Chains A and B, each alone.
Chain A
Amino acid sequence: MLSDENQALKTRTRLRVLHVDDDPSILRLVAKRLGDKGIEVVSVEDPREVLPLVTNEGIRVVILDVDLPYIDGVTLLKKIKAADAGVQVILCTGMVSLTTITSVIAAGAEGCVFKPLMDISPLVTAVHHAFAKIDRWWDVLSEWTEIKTRNKSEGRIADAYDSTTGLPFIPSNRMESAPPAASPLAK
């Protein structure tokens, strides 16, 4: 259960995505259609601009074409996930081979939507699912932080457990007087 403070931090006032496609008309179409659904779109034509944007602008969801110049979408997907595994990537592409589909699944894509985008709702749904996944992991990380903080304040001081003995690991420069907690690794 999240504290009120962490719940407030998670609450998002807007959905913001990065869309990558080498066709400006597709970029305009998606920005318009998603914008009408309350989703802000950062549009990028050159795939070489993607990694700096993901790293520096806090982008958490990327919509990515596969057939791109300079670097193909599958390779870029892998680079994005290597830079930040928490970023959710939705492929938006024309018909591709089954091999490509299995490749993007293996590379960690969140979903795939096919062009032409005569109906924008599949893409909207994919974006919402991506943010819901991010929220779920935010909940996990927040709860982990709260548990760790609570354990420290209540005297369960172990940050980690010795992999050999299973006993709580206490750095030698810390003078702790509390008895070691029961180790989850103890046999």
Chain B
Amino acid sequence: MTKIISMMAGEEDFTELLQEFVSEIPERISRIETAIATEDVASLKRIVHQLKGACGGYGFPSLTDEAFQLEKVIDSRVSTAQFESEIDRFISNLRLMSADSE
């Protein structure tokens, strides 16, 4: 799968901050999965909301857009299949985020 590279990846003095952000993604994914397993909608919404705000700032605007769409899916009465499809895609793309410049 093609890595999703940050638009800030080339900024030398931003590298450490970017790497720290990307290194925290697995933990955020784990919290998403826990929230889904426990049907904790409030926690799920908060995590997705935080990612919506943070991803763009760290140079991943496409993930901000996806988080925005996912927020709407969580709030609307979509089918379980559609919800699971959206979540799976979002998590897959989170895993592809990269702090490397290439």
Residues of chain B within 8 A (CB-CB) of A26 are 50, 53-54, 57
Q: What count of chain B residues pass the 8 Å CB interface test? A: 21
Residues of chain B within 8 A (CB-CB) of A118 are 7, 56-57, 59, 61
Residues of chain B within 8 A (CB-CB) of A94 are 49, 52-53
Q: Is the CB of B54 within 8 A of A116?
A: yes
Pick from B14, B49, B53: contact of A32, CB under 8 Å: B14
User: Any chain B CB within 8 A of the CB of A85?
Assistant: no
Q: In the bound complex, how far is the Cα of B17 from the Cα of A32, in angstroms?
A: 8
Q: Is the CB of B53 within 8 A of A116?
A: yes
User: Any chain B CB within 8 A of the CB of A176?
Assistant: no
Residues of chain A within 8 A (CB-CB) of B21 are 25, 28-29
Q: What count of chain A residues pass the 8 Å CB interface test? A: 15
Q: Is the CB of A29 within 8 A of B57?
A: yes
User: Any chain A CB within 8 A of the CB of B39?
Assistant: no
* Contact residues, A22-36 vs B (CB, 8 A): 22-23, 25-26, 28-29, 32, 36
What are the 5 tightest A-B residue pairs by CB atom distance, in nearest-first order? A116-B56, A115-B53, A117-B57, A23-B50, A116-B57
B residues engaging A (CB < 8 A)? 7, 13-14, 17, 20-21, 24, 46, 49-50, 52-59, 61, 64, 68
Ordered by A's residue number, 26 sampled pairs between the chains whose C-beta atoms are within 8 Å are: A23-B50, A25-B20, A25-B24, A25-B50, A26-B50, A26-B53, A28-B17, A29-B17, A29-B54, A29-B58, A67-B46, A67-B49, A94-B49, A94-B52, A115-B56, A115-B57, A116-B54, A116-B55, A116-B61, A116-B64, A117-B57, A118-B7, A118-B56, A118-B57, A118-B59, A118-B61
